[in-house]
Each structure stands twice: as structure tokens, then as C-alpha cells.
A and B are shown apart, each in its own frame.
Chain A
């Protein structure tokens, strides 16, 4: 997939919580390139003095009709937090689309479970929307600390069946996604996971036990995002490989996780 450096224009910035932003941008110079769920963009950070590198942020949605791409950003440090300074009309320089995304269903009969924890839910909406275009309704299993951290639930419910866990029990089942009763009741043809590493390892372990094909999306610290600097490597069956280029999505069979 051809990669581009684009000067996008921000069309809206919405604060979804104290820690979360929804950034929507368009490409003023033409149609946005094709991209796949699970791929990411390297966003240039223009308003932060203490950071240096771009920030890798997953593609949250792609609206081809409106020529808009969106990013669901968790503001963790100064780099991501500075994105809140963006306003409609602001420049957003992005290198995209990067990396390898999730395996999509080969047929409409395949039952997919999309599991997201925390900000890891971000790429799964794009995946759900792409499946909806294929006439497939996926099942989402989404986890957060508490109800106020469950972001954009209406958008997820519009394209799939949504099951929720919160650590404080303020919405859905109390606990972690990996403890949800759904996992005891149903089997799926494939599982896609994005979230904190311990959660992904627990889901990988569940997938291994139940013999379900499973992919996880890693977020090792990156510099270039292009497979050039070899900083973001993961130790895999093929040796040290770049998460930015060979991933961020990996089949759990390729990883050397102790599960």
C-alpha cells in the first residue's frame, strides 16, 4: 500500500473526556488514500516543546464520502496532549497509511469478535464499519476503567453488538474484558484484539485454549514508523521484526509470549 506525507486539514476537534480527543481531518489536496483497519498514521506534533518525534496513532474511522479520516487520541504525555490545541482549519501533517492491519473476514459467514481495552478500542471502530460495508455485523467486547471512559459507544453499537466491562462496575459487567461471560457462552471464528499488553496476553491465552485464530495490535515505542530505524522491534518467530512495518497487528502464533 502506497504511503503518503499529507498536510491534512482538521475539520473538528472534540473533547470526549479529560483524557480523550476525537480529531477529524480531511485531505484538501485530493481523495484520502485507501487504508485498512489496524493501520496507523504518524502525526507530526507541532505544539510541544519537550517532545521530538511524531506520534503513531491508529486510524479510528475513514469516511470516503466525506473524505475524512479520524483519530481517537488518548492524551498521555506532552506530545499527544498538544493535539488538543488543534482547531478546525489547523494543519495536521500525517504520514499514512502505515503498517499491516487486521485480517478481514473472507466471507460474510465468519463470526468476528473485536476486543478492545482502554484506548485500544480506537482501531476497532474502523474495522467494524468496514465489516458493516461487507454486510457483516461483528461483536464488540470493550473494556474501560469506568463508564465515563467508554467512548463513542453509539458509533460501535451502530455497526455491531456491543458487550462491555468496567473495572468499577459502573457499566456492563464488572471486571476485565477477559472475564466477561460472553467468552464462556459463545465461540467465534476469529478474534481481533487491541489494548494494554496484559489484557492482550490474557485474550491470546483464551484464544489459544479455545483454538480460535487471534490477532493482536502492539504499540512498541516507534521513531520512524517506516521500518527504517529498527527501534520498535518485537521478538517473534522470525526474529526481531519492526512493529511499525511487519505489524502493528500480529498473529499470536508469531509472538513469543508466554501464554
Chain B
């Protein structure tokens, strides 16, 4: 059996499969279905300095091979996370990574500083790319200066592995990736959802409560794959690929494009056990093609 272990800027993963923020709760929601230690890591729900109620219902619209959501970062804030959620997840035997969001560089930094104190959280994923919050979120992720300012502020407050999640809703995702690399990011993950819209023709109204939402699922995979390829060829830091990955073949495509690890998001809704199946399937692929380690295939696609 091929060696599935990967190292993302000091973060040791048992295999390259992570579960994407906002699609896997705090991991415990899926504990009935899979042994959580069999995924490389779990990126938990987006956490902010202060509690957020999120956007009103409806927050979801089904699309062909995908879905739109405008949840809007509903969470009970970092204090609640530290006191109520962390004790429930700290002993899960995989990397528990917290996705951090905010309204200002100071918010992000303060939230990250609180999580820095949690012994069993080895990394954070900085969400500078949420399309569903009015102030902040994607606003930082769509300019090189904005992205760099948040990353610099967090870098000062946070000593462990810092992954920055990038928005595809930009002219050049490569420029943003280079900017966050220079500002001190240890790795980048991409892509977040693509901004989209759905209209109910019977009601002649937009479906989602705030009108627009983030598109995810297999329909975005080709866009994600192209962006991962471009970014991986431009930056020195590791790239984590996500966007519509539903099976091991999809995951291998991202690895070949240059991702050192991958995240599974929306596919978790269709099959709660898919993350473990993808990890196993990557191993089978490597064995079938005679690779000794998953590292051997990262970025080998010309």
C-alpha cells in the first residue's frame, strides 16, 4: 500500500483528504458514519470573533450538479467555540483545523490569537473569501492589498500552520495567492464557492434570501482544477485543492494539477462516508500505477 502521508507546511496529515469547512459541521455530526481518524483532517465550521446569526432562510438552492448557499457564517463566536465545542472535538484523532473569518484585520487576528491557545488545533484556515457576508469576507479576498493586510495581521497573532482560503471571484487568483504568500501564509486552499444566483420562475423572485449565493459541487470542478493548476505553478507554498471533488478520480486530478492535499465539501451531503472512500481510492490509484507515495504525483501533470 502506497504511503498516503503528506506534510503541509509542518502539518502532518495521515492522508491528503480533508473535509471542507461548512460541509462537515464540527466532525462529530459525521461520527456515526465514519471513523474520523481515517481522514487527514477536518476543517470545522467558519468561526468569527463575535456570534453571527447568518442570513435568513432560504439559504440554499439546488442546481444542476451542484448547489448554491448563502448561509452567511452562522456561528456562536470564538468564545463559545473554545468553551463548548473544543472540549468535544479536541480528542478526535485527526487534525482539527478551524476556519476563521472576520470583518476587519483586527477581528481576524484576535480570533486567530484565541485559537492559537488551543493545544489540539494545529492549524487554521483563513477565510478571506466568503461570498455571503456583506462586510468583509470576500472583500478582503478580492484585492491583493486586502488579502495581504489580513494575512499580515493574523501572521503576527498566530504561530501555527496558517492556510489561506482563496476566492475564485477575482480577475487573477494567482496574484492573490502570491500576495498572501508574501504576507506570511504557510499554504493556500482553493477554491471557495463561485458567486451565483437562482430565480424561481413561478414566483418571479430570486430564490436565496440575499439574492446571491456561493455555487459548489461537481459543476465547479473544472474551474477549480484550472485555478489550482495555475496557482500551484506560481507559488512556493503548498496548495490545497477543492471544488467539486466527489470521488478518488477527482481527487487525483487535483493532486496531478499540483495540490498537495485536497478538501471534500458538498459531496459530504450526498454520501457522508465519501471522504474515507476518497482516501482509500487514492491509495488504490497509487498502487495500481506503482507509486510508492502520494507525494510522487503532486504536480506531475505538465
Contact = CB atoms under 8 A, between A and B. Distances in A.
- Physical interaction between A and B: yes
Interface of A: 2-5, 44, 49-54, 95, 220-235, 239-240, 245
Nearest to A222: B60
Contacts of A232: 57, 59-60
A53 B29 contact: no
B54 A240 contact: yes
A240 B32 contact: no
B207 to A, nearest CB: 9
Interface string B249-288: 0000000000000000010111111000000000000000
Nearest to A52: B62
Interface string B36-57: 0000000001000000011011
A47 to B, nearest CB: 15
Contact of A5 (B33, B45, B58): B33
Contact of A226 (B30, B63, B66): B30
Interface in B139-172: none
A223 B24 contact: no
Given A52-B65, A240-B54, A2 B30 contact: no
Contacts of B24: 228
Contact of B268 (A44, A222, A228, A233): A228
Contacts of B64: 49-50, 52
A53 B67 contact: yes
B62 to A, nearest CB: 5
A219 B58 CA distance: 12
A227 B23 CA distance: 9
Contact of B58 (A2, A51, A53, A221): A221
Instruction: Give the residue among B30, B74, B269, B272 with the most A Cβ atoms within 10 A.
Output: B269
A235 B299 CA distance: 46
B158 to A, nearest CB: 26
B272 A5 contact: yes
A228 to B, nearest CB: 4
Interface string B62-96: 11111101010010000000000000000000000
A223 B60 contact: yes
A55 to B, nearest CB: 10
Contacts of B53: 239-240
Contact of B270 (A53, A227, A234): A53
A240 B270 CA distance: 23
Contacts of B33: 3-5
Given A5-B273, A223-B269, A52 B25 contact: no
Contacts of B273: 5
A226 B273 CA distance: 13
A228 B62 contact: no
A240 B74 contact: yes
A233 B23 contact: no
A2 B60 CA distance: 26
B22 interface: yes
B163 to A, nearest CB: 20
A235 B56 CA distance: 8
B102 interface: no
Contacts of A245: 29
Given A3-B32, A52-B65, A224-B23, A229 B57 contact: no
Nearest to B60: A231
Contacts of B241: none
Nearest to B74: A230
A229 B30 contact: no
Nearest to B51: A239
Interface string B212-240: 00000100000000000000000000000
